[in-house]
Copies of this chain bind each other. A is one copy, B any other.
Amino acid sequence: MDHVVVMAGGSGTRFWPESRMRRSKQFLNLTGQRPMIQETVRRMHPLVPKENVWVVAGEKDAPHLSSRALGIPAGNILLEPEGRNTAPAVALAAFHIARRDPDAAIAASPADHAVSDERAFRSVLGQGLRLARRTGRFVTLGVSPTHPATGYGYIERGDPFGSGRDAAYNVRRFAEKPDLAAARRFLKSGRFSWNSGIFLFRADTFVHRLARFLPEVHAGLTEAFRFAGRKSFRQKLRAAYRGFPSISVDYGILEKETGILLIPADFGWSDLGTWRSLHEFLGRPGENVTFGNVILSDCRNTLVRSDQGLVAVVGMEDVVVVRSGDAVLVCPRSRSEEVKQIAEEVRRKAPALA
């Protein structure tokens, strides 16, 4: 069977003041539908049945996780005792899934990315799952770059792999977020995709590579899962997590793995990394995008959001204005990256508002 693991353990401050220490981006309703994590889960239907969709998050996030709102069984919400980045998170889910379904193929997806063409998304996800199942390899989904973005990781394609509806490419290398010059070279070469952060694999492959590349995580989970289904499981898991490194799947496994495949795809993807990228995802260039009770007068290319009361903006261009709870942010679109630092300053000066 096919399964999906939604990685929801992240914490971020780039969407302050909507994101807070106790309310991470994946629990925000950024695109006007539902919280991003609900969008992510919903997007998988009907490709993967609800019983096969898993969410991994931190215990601190439990208040934001309702199996009813997510539309998945309560047992599919996996709470990590502490955040240890994505490798332990996916490993935890893979152990749960392998226990129930040893032949599973798994798509692991961030909880906080946006997709505008969901049909295309499910199509390529299905293709990736088939390919992972058939080959036993790790498969990544690459997004065709539209501009020399410096905020995304890139994947370089090598030789083609296979043909027909399962055609893919061998991955030559993963490149971290480049500077602008490198990003321009990547774009010009035509050989690079943006790393969507979505990867697919067979459960048995993952567990096998975990044993090889992150043996302490494999050993810890193996030990804890001897108590799976028993009362002591959480306590055993907590003990295991204490010894885990904090490491991503990318660094912990994919970088060491060979034979990774890439499927280039276009499904209107954005990682929504900043207020600016949210604005770009939602509006056409120059357009004002508003949420909530907002009055604009003679504005252009603004993103203005209010969760209560009223925000009035007069004669402004290229700015982000966000009112959330007791806090207000005003900054130029082009400086959305700096919101992170502001959120850190708020954490020092007014922790209740961070």
Contact = CB atoms under 8 A, between A and B. Distances in A.
A350 B350 CA distance: 31
A29 interface: no
Given A295-B346, A312-B346, A346-B312, A330 B341 contact: no
Contacts of A332: 314-316
A116 B173 CA distance: 67
A335 B314 CA distance: 8
Q: How big is the A interface, by class?
A: 35 or more
11 contacts: A16-B312, A17-B312, A295-B346, A295-B349, A309-B353, A314-B329, A314-B330, A314-B339, A314-B342, A316-B330, A316-B332
B310 A353 contact: yes
Contact of A331 (B16, B315, B325, B350): B315
A291 B312 CA distance: 19
A336 to B, nearest CB: 9
A314 B326 contact: no
Interface in A153-173: none
A345 interface: yes
A115 interface: no
B310 A330 contact: no
A19 interface: no
B297 A341 contact: yes
B293 A350 contact: yes
Interface in A135-177: none
Given A293-B350, A314-B342, A342-B295, A306 B328 contact: yes
